[in-house]
Chains A and B, each alone.
Chain A
């Protein structure tokens, strides 16, 4: 992940993503089943990496990531459906202009979703981050559920019936572009002085505060960044595939699923999270006929992992690429 220090590499990666996106659109592959899975992997990766910043790197166990995702999804979907679509209709735009306007609108919507989730993260974070360990887990779980129940009771966004007809403009470029942004942001945080502070808080809060680290500030920073990207992932999710979201998709089980990814990949390893997100998204699709056993396997995996290799697949290590070899960041 260290190679992401180079701005030119990042720009190049964005360009590669754009080219790949155009290729998928030109070949019509973007309507295939595999493309949908690829998009899901990207969204899961954003969620896992952003949660890793909170859970793995700063050591603050959060079980409410799906709540922030829900908030981002609903804010983004509302913006697209209630602001952008009527506006486009009002301007009588058609064809290419309409598509472009809706695309830009979705981009804005996703950022708005992220910002709202980050604000919620701030509001949730400042009081609850005083709690430690298991209390924080329960409090964040509670916040996630409260967000979901509030959405469930909001008729304007469809309540329990869900919200449909969201423009589906979250394509390969958007999803993986955001994923890249998330990885760059998190890895730059981790490899900066702030990163040292995060790890210090994870290892020993008291010791960290003794050497003058403002614990609350760093915890809130981690929480803010993490929930921003959770909101973005939610926005992308709302604008992908079917363009339909229901509150039930963002329950505690979803939060736990993201936690499993982070734990499996290794608490603190960004590339570990990426790998785990890909594996845990593709595997259930590949094993569809055993779908009943999927969650059983997940939970067994979690227990066995904790008993035998509590540091996760990658531990704290990162995948590194040999220098001088051109490669696209995973």
Chain B
């Protein structure tokens, strides 16, 4: 379930960016890694890792979200905006390039180094809830609650603010929205910042659950979260949530009932099945291609 919550948070970023830009932001998984990695450094600098408490945890989550939001905005501004009118393929290749750049620059010794780093225990792990034979640790509960809270906030932003309206307009029809006076560039930047901030939060939650982070950590969860977004119906926020939980469950079940080595393949199998059977995803809208 915590895996599912984390996938869902990352998937939201994919879904939003895909919604406004029709781009698979390959670098999104790496922004998620940066969220986890940077929060290790933040915790060391601020010495919050010495004082595990809820307050320090939320400080770190806040910092990671701010940092990732900033990074996401910069990536959009530098790498994607100049290609706004270029063919989609160029944009996709650029996204792959950005992803590779973050992964490989991160592996340099001057940056993070190639070895995994331990994520500080920001709160003590305790068994929190017993439901029948099921025992949940406080981290599992926390991951779930934070993920749901962030999604509720996101839902509010998208559906009850002016910026959210603009986002929906841009994702509905980019050109019409710009004719109606929506500043498309601002909206796209904002979407990137929002999505990347969510990925940053997911990074911290991931670090709490799996406390070993290296510069390549982001790739696999990133791809799986993308699969989750496609499964739920890309462009749909509740879809990303549902898809995230389903993929997380599918992986856990595969690891426990079939083989943990096949765990990595199950997401792709699901992806291909979805694309073949219902390309619009579970909760996605069916779109008709027009010339």
Contacts and interface: CB of A to CB of B under 8 A. Distances in A.
Contacts of A293: 108
B92 A61 contact: yes
B223 to A, nearest CB: 7
B58 interface: no
Contacts of A267: 89
Residues of A contacting B: mostly: helix
B209 interface: no
Interface in B131-184: none
Contacts of B96: 256, 259, 302
Contacts of B90: 306, 310
A142 B268 CA distance: 5
Contacts of B86: 306, 310
Contacts of B275: 128, 131, 135, 139
From A146, A300, A303, name the one whose CB has the most chain B CB atoms within 10 angstroms: A303
Interface stretch (B5-13, B97-105, B195-203): B97-105
B100 A145 contact: no
Interface residues of A, number: 38
A322 interface: no
B93 A263 contact: yes
Please report whether the interface of chain B is mostly helix, strand, loop or mixed according to DSSP: helix
Given A145-B264, A310-B86, A292 B107 contact: yes
B100 A298 contact: yes
Nearest to B22: A134
B94 A307 contact: yes
B89 A303 contact: no
B129 interface: no
B40 interface: no
Contact of B268 (A143, A153, A298): A143
A149 interface: yes
A303 B104 CA distance: 14
A256 B103 CA distance: 13
A255 to B, nearest CB: 10
B24 interface: yes
- Nearest first, the 7 closest Cβ-Cβ pairs linking A and B are A142-B268, A302-B97, A299-B100, A295-B104, A299-B101, A303-B97, A149-B265
26 contacts: A127-B272, A133-B89, A134-B22, A135-B230, A139-B272, A142-B267, A142-B268, A145-B265, A149-B264, A206-B289, A259-B93, A259-B96, A292-B107, A292-B108, A293-B108, A295-B104, A295-B107, A296-B104, A299-B97, A299-B100, A299-B101, A302-B93, A303-B97, A303-B98, A303-B101, A307-B94
Given A143-B272, A259-B96, A302-B97, 15 more contacts: A131-B275, A134-B23, A134-B24, A138-B24, A139-B271, A142-B268, A149-B262, A295-B100, A295-B107, A299-B100, A300-B97, A302-B96, A306-B97, A307-B82, A310-B86
Interface of A: 59, 61, 127-128, 131, 133-135, 137-139, 141-143, 145-146, 149-150, 152-153, 206, 252, 256, 259, 263, 267, 292-293, 295-296, 298-300, 302-303, 306-307, 310
